[in-house]
Structure 1
Amino acid sequence: MTNRRRFIKKAAAGAAGMALGTSAFSAKSYRNIIGANDRVILASIGVRGRGKGLLENFTRMYKDGVMVKTVCDVDSSFLGERVKMAADNQDGNKPGTETDMRKVFDDQEVDAVIVATPNHWHALATIWACQAGKNVYVEKPSSHNVWEGRKMIEAARKYDRIVQVGFQNRSISNVMQAMAFLHDGGIGDVYMSRGMCFKPRDSFGIAEDSAPPASLNYDLWLGPANWRPYNEKRGHYNWHWHWDTGNGDTGNQGPHQFDIARWGLGKKVHPVKVQSMGGIFGISPKECSQETPNTQTSVFEYDDGKILEFETRGRYTNAEAPAGVKIGNLFYGTEGWLELNGSTWKAYRERENKPFAGSDMAETAAVGGDQSFRTAPDSKGHFANFIDAVKAGNRSILNCDVEVGHMSTVLPLIANIAYRTGDTLEFNGEFEQFIDNEAADLYLKRRYRYPYVVPEKV
């Protein structure tokens, strides 16, 4: 298979050179095109939590021309199980293993990488991959801080790479339908959106610093983060609740609903003002090392006065709206409101308590005579959308290009900055900096630990 793949590429390059001259394709532009009948070769980086799910989904696309060649993780303890799962889904084709992603980037046969590392690795892994000529599927949030997210965009554009961010709602048919309904005036002019992340979480405890497990390359795990002793309560999954590696639930589950809130509001610019407040409730700091808030309310204002609200509740709580929304969104317009619970949505007109349109209604009300809302748009899903774009070498196909992902990721990031400074912050979206607040600006970027440095010039 590999020899045939190389032959096809060489033959195509030779034919192009004969027809258009030897300078018709640069190495960069040529690698951007993969034949429709050619197999897309992937490497999966970070395969423990969310990475396991991504690996399973992409390996199930084997019959559709996708193969995971390598699984990579800094913790080797579960690589064997992941290899077996991948091989079972790939008709026995067994991927190799690596613990250092840089070796993956050196492999010329790999067309694209899946990045499902902790948040603090997302940007550097993506930039390194682009520099090595790889396309990238990177999990949300796209970056750990605002500055490095902009560097991801610069790298994707400079090296002409396809970079998809894992905001899967962008490829869910019913969600796409709901957004089209809003944008076409289904509830009038949408002036406010609301995102909700209600996930009660118990204390994960506290532990003394210790030696890392023999299976874990701890230096690689820390990567761009400042050096600190290993602590099991700050490692696998618990990294979400510590500022040097994670962004709390506002920046964990939250980015999905932030993305939908911004999408439905129709905003393609940053807000001009943000405030956020909250804290850690119901959990004693003497019994848990958590740093990020488990309860947090954030409000954003745009230059036209429209509002985006977001609420994170990490303790016991009620749901909201008739659908009992805990992980979802609400939208408010001049002629009604809409609830989105997962992929199910319903729209209500003015003061009426019976929905007049929605995803589960056989005859969704048309707006302005447009009948397109009677059925949800077709979607092959977020993973297939990425593969299609890679094969075509066309980022315009993507449902969530890195720049779209960055715009949504900035929202939870600056909400956390407002929370940490305790200030109502004004934001200059053009330069992605705060106005007259040096303390807040310090959180836009981090100090990187050599050699794991996001460069000023990618």
Structure 2
Amino acid sequence: MDNKIERREFIKKISTFGLGMGLVGASAPQVFADGSPNEKIIVGVMGTNSRGAAVAEGFSKLPGAEVAYICDVDDQAIQNGIEAVEAGGQKRTPEGVKDFRRILEDKDLDALAIAAPDHWHAPASILALKAGKHVYVEKPCSHNPHEGELLVQAAKKYGKVVQMGNQRRSWPNVVQGIQEVKEGVIGDAYFARAWYANTRGSIGHGQTAPVPSGLDYDLWQGPAPRREYKDNLIHYNWHWFWHWGTGEILNNGTHFIDLCRWGLEVDYPEQVSSQGGRYAYDDDWETPDTQITSYDFQEGKTISWEGRSCNGQHIEGNSVGASFHGTEGSLVIHGNGYSTFDNDGNELKKVTVDSGDALDTTGPGFDLDADHLANFRDAIRNGSSLNSPIEDANKSVLLCQLGNIAHRTGRTLNCDVNTGKILDDEEAMKLWSREYEPGWEPTI
């Protein structure tokens, strides 16, 4: 059976579905208590070489929002962001700024959207919160677990809206599929699987080179201790260096591990193990290109992640996705759709919608981003509940980070099921945080 639903009609019902775990009725701060719900939110976007340009265009198209600033350390990326806003139809041309900290002084700025490299996500978010701004931060919300803790604390301290860009929390058919899992369509769900498969090439061996004109490399490094510029680092390959990036499990796994945790209704694991390595090429890539990570929870449930950065063979007919398995069947998420199966493999129901190219590095586009951005806008304007508030989103990010720590230490981690903290392993806990460039340490 092909069950297509009207997207706009369904989105009206999302608030009744329980978008997070225990989040129904949890309201965002009432920040426009004396203003009109029709008032515009004024946004600055930080990091617009790729994903950030899509975010900027999304906000430029969003009714009730306006992009005032495009911030990037690279002149060309600033131009990319400005052109994206223009393509979105915004009449006002945003101002291009290299150092995002300058725009935080603007009292008319309501929010900062952050799509810079991972090592900037939490430090920039915290600086924005301290300046009284709301924050929309792309996944992952932090480079390491300690930064995630600080960000959650800062959001509570300053009372601002902080939403992570795990947009599938707002995709109508995904919301419906997750709700069906919770309601028992596959019986008692006890196992969930997340995956990502791509065929990335080698990044080679970088050579020390002059910093390109128009790039402020010192500001690009920001909180990270200084390293010399190499020609295979910017703008994308930083993902595969521990110093700045977090590997595929946080680059793409965050989205799908988050769905698994959401559907199984679990928080912190008892044990985490991870196997894999850099197999495909001999180059500078440090994070694993193949990673199999398992999370066991005290509720008697398990999540598995399979990431293959250099072998794009599909799983369940899709390069990316998540599936749930229970006592009476399975449910597979595919794009903004899903299918249910009985335990004999017979498809019982299929919900579909066009979802674009899942491997587009800029994201799925405004058609699917729109609801997540609108949810952020509405939380600012009238206190609507967030679909991915930072205190919940950070739990999924922490799962991914624990997978990396298990991989880097080469052993199973035992965790506190109430906090996620690693137990009785001083070496592993050294990876809970990082060193910072002096003077750049994030504080709340």
Please give the TM-score of this superposition, normalised by the length of structure 2. 0.87
Please name the residue that 1:283 is paired with: 281
C-alpha change, 1:390 and 1:305, in structure 2 (3 Å) is: same
Q: Which amino acid in 1 is paired with 2:237?
A: N
The Cα of 1:310 is off from its aligned counterpart by 0.5
1:197-245 Cα deviation digits (max 9, x unpaired): 1112110222211221121111111111111101121221101000011
Please name the residue that 1:145 is paired with: 144
Please name the residue that 1:383 is paired with: 373
1:42-92 Cα deviation digits (max 9, x unpaired): 10111111101101111112xx12110111001122323432432453443
Q: Which amino acid in 2 is paired with 1:65?
A: G
User: 1:57-456 counterparts in 2 under 5 A?
Assistant: 57-61=58-62, 64-267=63-266, 269-284=267-282, 288-321=283-316, 324-351=317-344, 353-360=345-352, 381-392=371-382, 394=383, 397-455=385-443
Structure 1: which 5+ runs fail to align?
1-27, 362-377
Q: Which amino acid in 1 is paired with 2:106?
A: D
Identical residues among aligned pairs (%): 35
Q: Distance in 2 between matches of 1:310 and 1:318?
A: 15
1:34–1:390: 8 Å Cα contact kept in structure 2? no
Pairing 1:42–2:40 present:
no
Q: Distance in 2 between matches of 1:390 and 1:247?
A: 30
User: What SS does the aligned partner of 1:193 have?
Assistant: strand
User: What SS does the aligned partner of 1:57 have?
Assistant: helix
C-alpha change, 1:97 and 1:261, in structure 2 (3 Å) is: same
Q: Distance in 2 between matches of 1:83 and 1:409?
A: 30
Q: Which amino acid in 2 is paired with 1:37?
A: N
1:168-211 Cα deviation digits (max 9, x unpaired): 00000000010010000000010000000111211022221122
The Cα of 1:450 is off from its aligned counterpart by 2.4
User: What SS does the aligned partner of 1:235 have?
Assistant: coil
Q: Distance in 1 between matches of 2:82 and 2:369?
A: 29
User: What SS does the aligned partner of 1:276 have?
Assistant: strand
1:224-278 Cα deviation digits (max 9, x unpaired): 11111011212211010000111111110111011111111111x2111000010
Q: How many residues align?
A: 402
Q: Distance in 2 between matches of 1:389 and 1:303?
A: 33
1:33–1:391: 8 Å Cα contact kept in structure 2? no
Pick 1 or 2: higher relative contact order, CA cutoff 8 A, min separation 6: 2
User: What SS does the aligned partner of 2:347 have?
Assistant: coil
Q: Distance in 2 between matches of 1:446 and 1:96?
A: 33
2:167–2:369: 8 Å Cα contact kept in structure 1? no
The Cα of 1:429 is off from its aligned counterpart by 4.1
C-alpha change, 1:419 and 1:95, in structure 2 (3 Å) is: same
2:54–2:84: 8 Å Cα contact kept in structure 1? no
User: What SS does the aligned partner of 2:424 have?
Assistant: coil
User: What SS does the aligned partner of 1:232 have?
Assistant: coil
Cα RMSD after superposing both structures: 1.9
The Cα of 1:432 is off from its aligned counterpart by 3.8
Q: Distance in 1 between matches of 2:155 and 2:123?
A: 12
C-alpha change, 1:33 and 1:191, in structure 2 (3 Å) is: farther
User: What SS does the aligned partner of 1:293 have?
Assistant: coil
The Cα of 1:29 is off from its aligned counterpart by 7.2
User: What SS does the aligned partner of 2:306 have?
Assistant: strand
1:123-152 Cα deviation digits (max 9, x unpaired): 011111111110010000111111110111
Q: Distance in 2 between matches of 1:313 and 1:80?
A: 33
Q: Distance in 2 between matches of 1:317 and 1:225?
A: 32
User: What SS does the aligned partner of 2:300 have?
Assistant: coil
Q: Distance in 2 between matches of 1:332 and 1:76?
A: 48
C-alpha change, 1:263 and 1:29, in structure 2 (3 Å) is: closer
C-alpha change, 1:82 and 1:183, in structure 2 (3 Å) is: same
User: What SS does the aligned partner of 1:79 have?
Assistant: helix
Q: Distance in 2 between matches of 1:332 and 1:246?
A: 32
2:66–2:90: 8 Å Cα contact kept in structure 1? no
C-alpha change, 1:291 and 1:445, in structure 2 (3 Å) is: same
C-alpha change, 1:151 and 1:34, in structure 2 (3 Å) is: farther
Q: Distance in 1 between matches of 2:181 and 2:292?
A: 24
2:30–2:381: 8 Å Cα contact kept in structure 1? no
User: What SS does the aligned partner of 2:129 have?
Assistant: helix
User: What SS does the aligned partner of 2:331 have?
Assistant: strand
Please name the residue that 1:51 is paired with: 52
Q: Which amino acid in 1 is paired with 2:265?
A: G
Please give the TM-score of this superposition, normalised by the length of structure 1. 0.84
User: What SS does the aligned partner of 2:415 have?
Assistant: strand
1:32–1:160: 8 Å Cα contact kept in structure 2? no
C-alpha change, 1:242 and 1:380, in structure 2 (3 Å) is: closer
1:33–1:390: 8 Å Cα contact kept in structure 2? no
Please name the residue that 1:364 is paired with: none
1:381-431 Cα deviation digits (max 9, x unpaired): 111111111111x2x511000112101101111100000000111011434
C-alpha change, 1:424 and 1:88, in structure 2 (3 Å) is: closer
Q: Distance in 2 between matches of 1:125 and 1:241?
A: 21
User: What SS does the aligned partner of 2:190 have?
Assistant: strand
2:198–2:313: 8 Å Cα contact kept in structure 1? no
1:31–1:133: 8 Å Cα contact kept in structure 2? no
